Amino acid sequence: MVDTTGAVWRKSSHSGPDGNCVEVAFLLSGNVAVRDTKDRGDGPILAFAPGEWDAFVSEVTGGVLRRF
């Protein structure tokens, strides 16, 4: 279970109004949480350790995940 108490959730300013967005929060624990904007209440949350988050962002921005 991820403790998101006090989390400040952010989504991209490039996100449209149609609800197909994700939000990211940098937690007090140092971990990073990601959730779907449609499931803000009790929906699932992906949690990344700092190194895992850095690797994920590197893969996404490097184009490695484009095949998905």
- The domain spans of the chain are 22-67
b/e code 6-37 from CB counts within 10 Å (16+ = b): ebeeeeeeeeeeeeeeebbbebeeebbbbbee
Full-model pTM: 0.81
pLDDT one digit per residue (tens) for the chain, 68 residues: 788 888 999 988 888 777 788 999 999 999 999 999 888 878 899 999 999 999 999 988 887 777 65
pLDDT, position 68: 57
pLDDT, position 44: 92
pLDDT, position 24: 96
pLDDT, position 31: 95
